[in-house]
Structure 1
Amino acid sequence: MGKLFAIGDIHGCNKELELLLTRLPFKDSDTILFLGDYIDRGKDSKGVVNTILNLAKKYNVITLMGNHEQMFLDFFYDKNTLEAGAFLFNGGTTTLSSYCSELGNFEFPKNHLDFFNNLKLFHETDDYFFVHAGLPELPLEEIKQRPLIFLEQFLWVREDFLKSNYQWNKTIIHGHTPILDATLDNQKINLDTGCVYDGKLSAIELPEKILYSVPKINEEATGPEIPGRRRSVRYSIVLPITIDLGEGQAFFETINFSDHGMLIYTITSIELAFTANQIIRGIIGSTKSQAYFTGRIKRVEKKATGSFLAIEFIQRPACINPI
């Protein structure tokens, strides 16, 4: 029986992935398992997927779903949702940039969409259970019988799982929560060492529990600039906007949104006095995903249907609780 190599969160860091793969001593009989979060934040999400697909042509490769792949699918199938907004605010614009054609369109190859749509929620061996984020405090057999019920824990959980002393009778190998160095104990092994945050990309060889890592190669990831054009891509997406008025709030919705600004219209019935060049601050989104922004009003239009503001970001949206 061959060995198994598990790899932590990649987040678009394809050069680091390629370098790490050259250092892993896997053979034809071995298995390479990825713990999810292949995309977002880093510069080359498309390259990461290509690297994994090419690897799968030669070796036994297992790919798990991460929360960022779930957010991508939410965005891809319905852009007018808060979940789609969560994708954009959590590094999704760099993923879109990597899939941007010379004409400014986002082109997702069929084999890449198949990749995203066929990711596994978990994998297990005799001694190990692999999942992106973590597990509920329940026996593994019960979890496996009703996996969709526990999707939130598989993809999103942090503190409840990390602090748990529950005995699952197998070592849980996961990522999702970035740390400085991979943890090694008999209960949990965390392989997310924050490569995209100037940390490392890490892997483990099993059953020997040998750790491998490569450092971040510093490159600036930018938003999706269209080749040959000066302006960034605008997404037609409806998101709630709350603007701080000092002694109150005004409520808007987006008409479109880009990495550099947005066009919004008021859903507040009272008359609002906004002027060009005015600096405003507020929150984009609600409930699960919210992002602070600071912007300058570039244009104000008042129509019978309400006030429209064209806003240029001074401080790009930053998630209140990054995910």
Structure 2
Amino acid sequence: MRTLAVGDIHGGLRGLVQVVERANVSSDDTLIFLGDYVDGWSEAAQVIQYLIELSKTNTCVFIKGNHDIWCEQWLAYGTVNDVWFKNGGKETIESYDGFSKDQKLMHLDFFEGMPLYHIDSENRLFLHAGFTSMHGVERELHKENFYFDRTLWEMALTLDQRIEKNSKLYPNRLKHYAEIYIGHTPTINFGKDQPMHAANVWNVDTGATFTGKLSAIDIDTKEIFQSDKVMDLYPDEKGRNKK
């Protein structure tokens, strides 16, 4: 039995299907998705439907990302956030053409049931972006940090790798968890097309919404599974994703 952490999908159903196939996912595998299922490529609604069906055969954890919150607000209230609309929301709204009211309500229930973080039996933390409390996620005062914060990853990147976890110099934020798995900040921003590791933090967002691939990582063996570049799977689509 494996546990795979999956990075940001951003409406790229074709990339998701490739990763599931290339990882040879079976019903014994646990899948932990790190958020941002929608906004980007043209199959956001189809991604959600696929994940709902996948959860019927596999143990799945679906962490909520910032784009998911915007989509949830639209499904619940018809709210169209201007920032959201310009950053993939338009494509997500269009992907729901042909979906019935009942299907949209089912998707809304799916979004509403997503946790903001998950801690497994080995004290590994999974969340979309980060947190700021030195006392851990349970003491985080600003819940939006779970899906917007980038300082956790910035801190991990700049930490002198010679500093050991039991050292007084090791950041208290990181000491609470054996490992931390995040998305939100594409590794292609740092010239890397695979998941990155810094301190005890793993960043699994490899830029599928832009010019990168969709990635999954076996959290025990650290084996990595990737799709093709998602933009190559949607050659007819133009816009911000091709930048």
Report the TM range for the smaller structure's normalisation.
0.7 to 0.9
- SS of 1:212's partner is strand
1:96 pairs with 2:87 = no
Residue in 2 that maps onto 1:162 = 153
Alignment root-mean-square deviation, CA? 2.4
Counterpart-to-counterpart distance in 2, 1:13 and 1:71: 18
Of structures 1 and 2, the one with the larger relative CO (CA 8 A, separation 6+) is 2
Counterpart-to-counterpart distance in 1, 2:31 and 2:50: 12
The 5 A counterparts of 1:162-241 are: 162-164=153-155, 165=159, 166=171, 167-168=174-175, 169-180=177-188, 181-215=194-228, 216=230, 217-221=233-237
Assess if the C-alpha contact under 8 Å between 2:75 and 2:105 holds in 1: no
Residue in 1 that maps onto 2:144 = 152
- SS of 1:49's partner is helix
Counterpart-to-counterpart distance in 1, 2:143 and 2:15: 29
Measured against aligned partners, the alpha-carbon deviations of 1:30-66 in whole angstroms (never above 9, x if no partner) come to 2111100000111100111111111111110110100
Unmatched segments (≥5 aa) in structure 1:
223-315, 319-323
Higher helix share: 2
Residue in 1 that maps onto 2:108 = 113
Assess if the C-alpha contact under 8 Å between 1:183 and 1:191 holds in 2: yes
Counterpart-to-counterpart distance in 1, 2:35 and 2:75: 18
Residue in 2 that maps onto 1:42 = 41
Deviation at 1:176, TM superposition (A): 0.4
Residue in 2 that maps onto 1:131 = 127
Residue in 1 that maps onto 2:163 = none
TM-score between both structures, scaled by the size of structure 2? 0.80
Residue in 1 that maps onto 2:74 = 75
Higher strand share: 1
TM-score between both structures, scaled by the size of structure 1? 0.61
Identity score, percent: 28
User: Which structure 1 residue ranges, 4+ long, deviate > 2 Å from structure 2?
Assistant: 25-30, 73-80, 105-110, 165-170, 218-222
Assess if the C-alpha contact under 8 Å between 1:40 and 1:90 holds in 2: yes
Counterpart-to-counterpart distance in 2, 1:27 and 1:76: 31
Residue in 1 that maps onto 2:60 = 61
Assess if the C-alpha contact under 8 Å between 1:18 and 1:51 holds in 2: no
Paired letter, 2:43? D
Assess if the C-alpha contact under 8 Å between 1:66 and 1:132 holds in 2: yes
Assess if the C-alpha contact under 8 Å between 1:7 and 1:33 holds in 2: yes
- SS of 2:129's partner is coil
Deviation at 1:174, TM superposition (A): 0.4
Measured against aligned partners, the alpha-carbon deviations of 1:76-127 in whole angstroms (never above 9, x if no partner) come to 44456xx72222121101001110139xx98853221111111110111214
Number of residue-to-residue matches in the alignment? 214
Paired letter, 2:91? T
Counterpart-to-counterpart distance in 2, 1:109 and 1:152: 25
Assess if the C-alpha contact under 8 Å between 1:99 and 1:106 holds in 2: no
Rg bigger for which structure?
1
